[in-house]
Amino acid sequence: MLLWGVAAEHRGILITRLMYISLLSHRHLTRHLQVFLKERLLEYDEQEKVYKITPRALQFIQVYNTMAQMLEPIA
C-alpha cells in the first residue's frame, strides 16, 4: 500500500520513488495521491518536492493493522 511506503520514509518521498515501490504509472499514482491529499493522509512539501505522511494517516495504518490482526484466522 502506498501509505506504508511513504510512512517508511521519515523525511518524505519523491514521486519517482513512489512510482518504483508501488509499480504504478505516473498517471495512476497521481490519481491516488490526489485522493490521499484530499483526505489529508499525505501532505506535499513544495520546498523539498516530497510527499510526507500525516498523523491522520499513521492513525489509519494503526487501525488497519489492528483490524487485520483481529481478522487473522486462529491456527
List beta partners, residue 44: 51
Q: Give the rounded percent of residues in the chain with a pLDDT score beyond 90.
A: 75
In order of start, what are the domains of the chain with their CATH numbers?
2-71 (1.10.10.10)
What cell numbers appear for 48 in the block?
523539498
pLDDT at 5: 82
pTM of the complete model: 0.83
Closest to 2 (Cα-Cα) out of 43, 38, 33, 44: 33
pLDDT digits (tens, 9 = 90+) for 8-42: 888 899 999 999 999 999 999 999 999 999 999 99
For residues 11 and 25, the answer to whether their CB atoms sit within 8 Å is no
Position 75 pLDDT exceeds 60? no
